[in-house]
Structure 1
Amino acid sequence: MSAPAPHFPAPAVPESTPEPAPDLPGPAPRNGGRWPVLLLPVVALIPAVIAVLQLGRIHPDEVYQALEPAFWRVHGYGVLAWEWKDGIRNWAVPGVLAGFLKLAELLGITRPQGYRAVVAIPQAALHAWSLWAAYRFVARRAGPQGGELAALLVGLYGPVLVFAGRTLGESFSASFLVVAMEALDRRERTARAGLLGGAALGMAVVTRYPSAIFVVAALVWLAAAKRWRVLAFTCLGGAVVAAGLGVLDFATWGTPFHSFLAYARFNVFSGEAAARFGSDPPVYYVRPFFSAVPLWAWGAALLGLASLGQRRAVSLPLWCAAVYTGVLLTTAHKEERFLYPGLVLAVLAAAAPVAVFIRARAQAAARWGLAALAVGTGLGAAAFFPSTDLRADQFRAIVAATEGGDAHGLLIVNEGLWGAGGFFYLGQQMPWLTCDWPHDGAFQHAMRDRTFNRAVTFEDRALPELQAAGFRVARRIGRETLLIRD
C-alpha cells in the first residue's frame, strides 16, 4: 500500500460499466470537460457574495476574532477582545486579512461593504480550492461526472453557503480539512500527497485550534491503513506549518506557541471556558445535527448499511467527522457552529456513494431528477442551520449610518458591544455606544452629547425617547430604524 500505484490513462468505457467502490479510490481523475474549470469558481463565489451583500454575523467571533483585529492592525484603532490581550489567539488569519485591507486602502476603497468584499478574496479562493478537492475526491470513485455532482452537493450544501463566506475559524478550517482529505486519499505521488495533506491539516489547526482533533483522527486512520510513507510525509508537512506558527507567536506574543498553549489551558485543562460561557449536555447537538444533515446524506447511510456484507473500510473524512463529533459530545461548552467542520467532512464522505448511486441509473431523466433532488434537499438545510439571528439588517444600517461623512457619533439600541460590527463596519474613527434600554447610562449619555448624531435601533426599541431627544427617522432597513439628529 505504501508504494505509489502505476497510473495509466483510463480507457473509454460505456456508461454502464461499474464504478470504483466508494471507499476504494481509483486513479487520479481527469477533467470531466469544462464544467470544473468554468462553473466551479462560480459555485465557490456564492458564499462570499452572500456574506458581502447580506453582512451580519453568525457569531461575534466573525467580527472580533478576525475582521476587527485586522482593522486594528491596519488603522491603529479598533476593539480588541480579551483573547487579543491574553494572547489566546494567533495573528495568522487577521494578518492575512489585514494585508487585503491595506490593498483596499491603496485602491481607494473606503466604504465598509467595499473593503469587506476585498477581504473576502482569499477566503473565496480557499473555498474554491476545497471544492476542487471535493471534485477530485469523489471523481476517483464515481468518475468525472460524479465528481462534478459532488462539487455541487458540497458547494450548494446549505450550511456551506451560510458559513463558507464568513470569517469564522470554523469556516477557514473546514476548507483546509477538505483539501487535506483529498490529498491524503491519493494513491499516486504519496510523498507530495502527504506533504500537502499534512500542511493542510496544519493550517486547519492554525485557523482553529480545536481542529487538532481531526489531525489526531487522520494520523490514526493512516496508521490503521498501514500507509506509512504517507503518514511520515503528513507529519513532516504538519511540522513545517507548526514551526511557522511557533515563529509567528514568538514574533507577536514573545514566546513560541504562546497562543496554542494559552488556548489549551483556558479551554481544555482549566474548565474556564465552561465556567464563563456555560455548559450543556450532549443532547444539545441533536436538533442542529438532524436539521443540518441533508436527506441525501441519510440516503448514503442507507447505501452503506446495504453493503455491510462487503469488505469496505470507513473513508477518511467519515472517520474524522465521527471522531470529531464524538469529542464534541463530551465537551462541556457547546455551540452550533462547532458542528460545521464535521458536517462538511460527513457531507464529503456521503457525496461519493450518492454520486455512484445516481450515475448507475440507466435513464437520464432519473439521473437528472435524483441529482436535482439531492442538491435541493442539501440547499434547504440553510433554513435551519445555524439558527442564529444574523442581524444582517443591523449591520447594513450601521454601514448606512456613516455614509455621507456627516456622522460624528453612533448609538446602537437593543444590542450589546459584542453583537455590533465594531469599527470595521463603521469605517472611521468615531465614538459609538451600545445599550438595551432608555434608562441605560450609555443611552442617557448619547442623548446629552450632541456628538452622537446617528442612532440605529432594533425593532424600534426606545424610538419615542430618541425622537424626543431630537432624532428623526431617516430610513428603515429590515427590522432596523436609522435615525439622524441635526
Structure 2
Amino acid sequence: MDALIRRQGFGRKADDGKTEESGSLRFQKEEEPTLGRGGLAGRCGISHSWLMFCMSFVSTGWLTIAAFSVIFRVLNCFLVQSSFVPDEYWQSVEVAHRMAFNYGHLTWEWKEGIRGYGYPLFFAAIYKMLHWISCDSVHLLESGFPIFILNLRQLRSVFKRSFCPPPQIWLPRLLHALVTAFADFKFFRLVGQLEKTDDVKWTLFAHLCSWFTWYSCSRTLSNSVEGALTCLALAYFPLPASKTHSSKKYLSLVALATVIRPTALIVWLPLLVYHFWREENKLRLVVQDYVPIGASFLAFSTLIDSIFYGKWTLVQFNFLKVNVLDGVADLYGTFPWHWYLTQGFPIIMGPHLPFFFHGCYLAFRRHRILFVAIAWTVAIYSLLPHKELRFIYPVLPFCMIFCGVSLAHMRAWRRAAAWGLLASNLLLALYTGLIHQRGVLDVMGHVRVLCHKASEADVLFAMSCHSTPYYSHVHCPLKMRFLECPPDLGRPDYENKSDRFNENPLLWLRTWYPHAPSLPTHLILFDVMEKKISAFLNENNYTKTTDIFHTHFPEGGVGGRIFIYERHRQASLE
C-alpha cells in the first residue's frame, strides 16, 4: 500500500517546500512537448485539452483508487448477511415495497407523519424499474440476484431456493455500498490534501479496517446514508489546507442528510458555526448559501411528504416533537447519560480506540474542529435518554483521521499494531456480518417458499414485534401476521399485542385462535418461546419443520435459534 500511495502522489511532502500546485505545473510543462499538436493528440485527432484531462486523471491513479473502493464495498455488501436493527427494513424497504406494489406494512411512525418518504422513494423507484421490465415476479425473484443477472437456469439446482434472496433485497443494499464507495473515495482525496503521505496511507488503512463501518455502511438504514453524506460533505467543507472546498456542495449534502434524517444536523452544527466564524463575508454566506439551500431542500422534502401523506406534513417538526419533546423514543429503551462514553463510543471504535486517543494527543491542534464535532455529537446524544450505537456512526470518518495520525507516528511497534488492528477488526466484521443475528433473515427464505401456495398458507410470527423483515423480503401477497407494538399516544383503541403476548403467550394464542379453522398454518418463534406454548402446539397438531441458528448471545425474548412449526392438514378435518 505504501508503494501505491507514493505512486498516486497523495499527501503533502514534509521535505519539499513546493506546493502541489507547483508540482502539477511542472508536470504539465514537462509533458506538453510530447502531447502537442504534432504528438499523440494531433495524430489521433483528439483535442489537446481533452487528452490532457484524461492523462492527468489516469496518471494520478484516481481510477485505481475508485475501482478498489467500489470492489471493496460491493464485497462488503455481500459479506454482511445479518440483521442489525428493525429500522433497516421497516423504515426503508418495507415502505418502498408498499409504495411500488401496493402491499406491505406501515408502522405507527408513518401514520403519525414522523418519517419522510424521500429516502424510501429511491428504493421504490428501483422496485418499479424491476416491475416495468417484468423482473419482479416470485418465479424470477426466487433464482437470486447473481443467478438472475446471469440467467443460467442450469445453476438453479445447485442452490436451494429458500436461501437465494431476490434482487429487490440486494439492489437497495448495493446502492448503499456504491454510495459508500464514492464517499470513501472523496474522503481519501480530502485526507490527501490535509496530511502527509504516510498519514494518508494509515488513515486509509484505519478507515477500511473499521469493523462497525463494515457492519453498517451497506444496510438500508437512514443512519448509513447520513454517514455517507457526512463523509461526502466533509470533502467539500472549508477545512484548512483543503483545496476542494465548496460551500454550495457541502451545504447541499448536509441539507440532504438532514432531510433524510433530521438529527444529521447535530453533527454539522459546530462545523456550520466554524464556517460562519471564519467566513469574511458572513452576510453573503447566510443570504446566498445557508438560507436558499436549506429552504429549497426543506420545501422539496415537504412537497414529497405532503404528496404521499395526502396532506401538508412537515416531517422534521413532527420527528422532533414526537421523539424528543413528547419522549416517545424513550419507550424503546433508555440508558444512563454516560452510556456513549462508557459503552457506545468504545464499541463502535473497537480496537481503534487507543489509536484514536493517541491521535487526538498528537493532532488536536491541527484537527481541533473535527475533535469538537466528535465531542459535541457524543455529548448531545448523551443528553437524550434513548441511545443506540448507530446514532453516532456518522462521526467515525472524523475519528479515523486521528487513528491514521497515530499509526503514522508509531515506529517500533507500528507493524505489530497494524496487524493486530487488522486481525481484530476482521474477526469482528466477519462474525457480526455472517454469523451474529442472521436467523431472522434466513427464516424469510423459508417463508418465501410458501408463495407457491399463498392461498393456503397463513403465517404468524409469534415473537416480539418487528423481529424479522416482512413483505419486502417475501414479495408475494402471502397472508402474514406479526405482533404490533405501537406506543400509547392516547388513542382509545390502543393495544400493544407484543406486550400482551409476552406476558402470557399461551393465553394470548388460545384467546385469538379459539377455533381450528382460524389457526395459522405456520408458526415462527424463538426457541425460548417453545416451552411456554408447547401445550398449544401439541393440542393443535403443530410439528417442528425447521430449526435455524440465530445468535450465540440470546437475550430476553430473543433466543439463539428460530423454529418453524407447521400444522398438519389432518387437524383441520377433525
Q: Which structure 2 residues correspond to residues 75-114 of structure 1 after superposition, within 5 A?
A: 75-105=101-131, 106-108=134-136, 109-111=140-142, 113-114=166-167
RMSD: 3.8
- The 8 Å contact of residues 299 and 354 in structure 1, kept in 2 or not, is answered as yes
- Say whether 1:37 aligns with 2:66: yes
Aligned to 2:385: 332
Q: Which structure 2 residues correspond to residues 400-411 of structure 1 after superposition, within 5 A?
A: 400-403=446-449, 405-407=452-454, 408-411=457-460
Distance of aligned partners of 1:273 and 1:224 in 2 relative to their CA distance in 1, 3 Å threshold: same
SS in 2 for 1:440: helix
1:431-454 residue CA offsets vs partner (Å, 9 max, x unmatched): 223455333237862982367322
Distance of aligned partners of 1:440 and 1:256 in 2 relative to their CA distance in 1, 3 Å threshold: closer
1:286-339 residue CA offsets vs partner (Å, 9 max, x unmatched): 22222322444432432442467xx535143x3322211111111232223322
Equivalent residues, number: 455
- Greater shift in the superposed pair: 202-211 or 25-34: 25-34
- Greater shift in the superposed pair: 112-121 or 433-442: 433-442
Aligned to 2:545: 474
Deviation at 1:194? Answer: 1.5
Q: Which structure 2 residues correspond to residues 292-441 of structure 1 after superposition, within 5 A?
A: 292-306=348-362, 312-316=366-370, 318-342=371-395, 344-354=396-406, 356-357=408-409, 369-379=416-426, 382=429, 391-403=437-449, 405-407=452-454, 408-413=457-462, 415-434=463-482, 436=502, 437-441=505-509
SS in 2 for 1:329: helix
Aligned letter for 2:126?
F
Aligned to 1:264: 320
Aligned letter for 2:479?
P
- Greater shift in the superposed pair: 396-405 or 440-449: 440-449
Q: Which structure 2 residues correspond to residues 100-249 of structure 1 after superposition, within 5 A?
A: 100-105=126-131, 106-108=134-136, 109-111=140-142, 113-142=166-195, 146-147=199-200, 149-184=202-237, 185=239, 187-188=242-243, 190=245, 193-226=246-279, 235=290, 236-249=292-305
SS in 1 for 2:106: coil
- The 8 Å contact of residues 150 and 352 in structure 1, kept in 2 or not, is answered as yes
Distance of aligned partners of 1:43 and 1:156 in 2 relative to their CA distance in 1, 3 Å threshold: farther
Distance of aligned partners of 1:252 and 1:114 in 2 relative to their CA distance in 1, 3 Å threshold: closer
Q: TM-score, normalised by structure 2?
A: 0.69
Deviation at 1:84? Answer: 0.7
SS in 2 for 1:138: helix
Aligned letter for 2:544?
V
Deviation at 1:403? Answer: 0.7
Deviation at 1:147? Answer: 4.0
Deviation at 1:98? Answer: 0.9
- The 8 Å contact of residues 295 and 377 in structure 1, kept in 2 or not, is answered as yes
Deviation at 1:198? Answer: 0.8
Deviation at 1:12? Answer: 10
- The 8 Å contact of residues 135 and 147 in structure 1, kept in 2 or not, is answered as yes
Aligned to 2:513: 445
Aligned letter for 1:459?
D
1:109-141 residue CA offsets vs partner (Å, 9 max, x unmatched): 534543201222321221111111221122223
Distance of aligned partners of 1:381 and 1:228 in 2 relative to their CA distance in 1, 3 Å threshold: farther
Distance of aligned partners of 1:214 and 1:44 in 2 relative to their CA distance in 1, 3 Å threshold: same
- The 8 Å contact of residues 194 and 242 in structure 2, kept in 1 or not, is answered as no
- Say whether 1:291 aligns with 2:347: yes
Aligned letter for 1:357?
H
- Say whether 1:18 aligns with 2:14: yes
SS in 2 for 1:263: helix
Deviation at 1:278? Answer: 4.8
CA separation in 2, counterparts of 1:172 and 1:461? 36
Distance of aligned partners of 1:411 and 1:240 in 2 relative to their CA distance in 1, 3 Å threshold: same
- The 8 Å contact of residues 207 and 397 in structure 2, kept in 1 or not, is answered as no
- For structure 1, the 5+ residue unaligned runs are 1-9
- The 8 Å contact of residues 137 and 147 in structure 1, kept in 2 or not, is answered as no
CA separation in 2, counterparts of 1:312 and 1:419? 45
Aligned to 1:7: none
- The 8 Å contact of residues 197 and 237 in structure 1, kept in 2 or not, is answered as no
Distance of aligned partners of 1:268 and 1:320 in 2 relative to their CA distance in 1, 3 Å threshold: same
Aligned to 1:4: none
Aligned letter for 1:374?
L
Aligned to 1:3: none
SS in 1 for 2:119: helix
Distance of aligned partners of 1:182 and 1:14 in 2 relative to their CA distance in 1, 3 Å threshold: closer
Deviation at 1:62? Answer: 1.6
- For structure 2, the 5+ residue unaligned runs are 1-5, 25-56, 143-164, 483-500, 550-560, 570-574
> Which residue of 524, 530, 538 maps to 1:456?
524
- Say whether 1:61 aligns with 2:87: yes
**Percent of paired sites with the same residue:** 16
- The 8 Å contact of residues 356 and 399 in structure 2, kept in 1 or not, is answered as no
- The 8 Å contact of residues 544 and 566 in structure 2, kept in 1 or not, is answered as yes
CA separation in 1, counterparts of 2:223 and 2:401? 18
Deviation at 1:352? Answer: 4.2
CA separation in 2, counterparts of 1:447 and 1:135? 63
1:335-371 residue CA offsets vs partner (Å, 9 max, x unmatched): 23322223x144333244136436xx5x9xx765544
Deviation at 1:401? Answer: 2.5
Distance of aligned partners of 1:474 and 1:278 in 2 relative to their CA distance in 1, 3 Å threshold: closer
Q: TM-score, normalised by structure 1?
A: 0.80
- The 8 Å contact of residues 73 and 177 in structure 2, kept in 1 or not, is answered as yes
CA separation in 2, counterparts of 1:475 and 1:224? 62
Aligned letter for 2:324?
V
- The 8 Å contact of residues 363 and 405 in structure 2, kept in 1 or not, is answered as no
- The 8 Å contact of residues 8 and 61 in structure 2, kept in 1 or not, is answered as no
Aligned letter for 1:350?
F
CA separation in 2, counterparts of 1:194 and 1:161? 30
Distance of aligned partners of 1:182 and 1:17 in 2 relative to their CA distance in 1, 3 Å threshold: closer
- The 8 Å contact of residues 458 and 479 in structure 2, kept in 1 or not, is answered as yes
CA separation in 2, counterparts of 1:419 and 1:142? 45
Distance of aligned partners of 1:471 and 1:302 in 2 relative to their CA distance in 1, 3 Å threshold: same
Deviation at 1:13? Answer: 9.1
Aligned letter for 1:477?
I
- The 8 Å contact of residues 69 and 80 in structure 1, kept in 2 or not, is answered as yes
1:40-86 residue CA offsets vs partner (Å, 9 max, x unmatched): 112222442134xx243x22222221121111111212221111111
- The 8 Å contact of residues 153 and 378 in structure 1, kept in 2 or not, is answered as no
- Greater shift in the superposed pair: 82-91 or 429-438: 429-438
CA separation in 2, counterparts of 1:264 and 1:451? 41
1:82-102 residue CA offsets vs partner (Å, 9 max, x unmatched): 111111111011111111122
1:139-197 residue CA offsets vs partner (Å, 9 max, x unmatched): 2234567545434422331111111122222111111101111111474364xx22221
1:194-229 residue CA offsets vs partner (Å, 9 max, x unmatched): 222111111211221111112322211212333758
Aligned to 1:280: 335
